[in-house]
Amino acid sequence: MTADTDIPPRYLLFGCVALVAAAGIYLVVFSTAISPGSETAVEFDGQFEIDEDRFHMRGVIIPVPSTEPGIDNISVYLYSEDGELLEKRPVGKLNSGVNTSIRVETAPKYVIVDSPDFWTRSDIETLYYYKAGTFDGRPNYESKWVSSKTEFPEFHKTPT
């Protein structure tokens, strides 16, 4: 099978999402966002998949610019609706990018990429994701930029 190269990418993505939705898997695709102005941004370029109630996060956590010196102790935190920590997954040192694949049985309310090393710097921003209602009966996630530990949800402001 060959692809017609004159098809705009947005139509290919729409077809991919439609095919995945027809298979009973809900797919939320995230791509690199534009930071609101920090010197260094930490972003997630990947997707969240929800199949029934199982949740799978896969993609790459990246620093922008990618020439940024490494940042240690990166972890992904998954929280429930009431702020209970469901999973803390250390993913290592962030250089040019860290491949990430996390599966849990319950779709979290919050997905937070964090490191104590972020907050020793004055020029960093990171994204976190939160469940904001549903789309087609499945959780819908939105993102929010933070440039300080105090901007996270209350339950994540203390050391974990």
Which amino acid does the sequence have at 129? Y
pLDDT of residue 28: 54
Q: Are 65 and 38 in contact (CB under 8 A)?
A: no
3-class state of residue 156 by DSSP: helix
What are 20-27's contacts with CB under 8 Å, separation 24+?
Answer: 21/136, 24/51, 25/49, 25/50, 25/51, 26/50, 26/51, 26/135, 26/136, 26/138, 26/139
**How many other CB atoms are found less than 10 A from the CB of residue 89?**
15
Sign, CA dihedral 100-159-133-11, equals negative
Place of tokens 């610019």: 65
CA dist list (Å): 2 to 6, 55, 97: 12, 32, 31
Q: Give per-residue pLDDT as tens, 54-100.
A: 899 999 998 887 655 678 889 999 999 999 999 999 998 887 788 99
pLDDT of residue 33: 44
pLDDT of residue 7: 40
From the number of C-beta atoms within 10 Å of its C-beta (0-12, 13-18, 19+), residue 8 rates as: exposed
From the number of C-beta atoms within 10 Å of its C-beta (0-12, 13-18, 19+), residue 74 rates as: buried
pLDDT of residue 35: 41
SS (H, E, C) 35-87: CCCCCEEEEEEEEEEEECCEEEEEEEEEEECCCCCCEEEEEEEEECCCCCEEE
Which parts of the chain have pLDDT scores under 70?
1-38, 66-69, 159-160
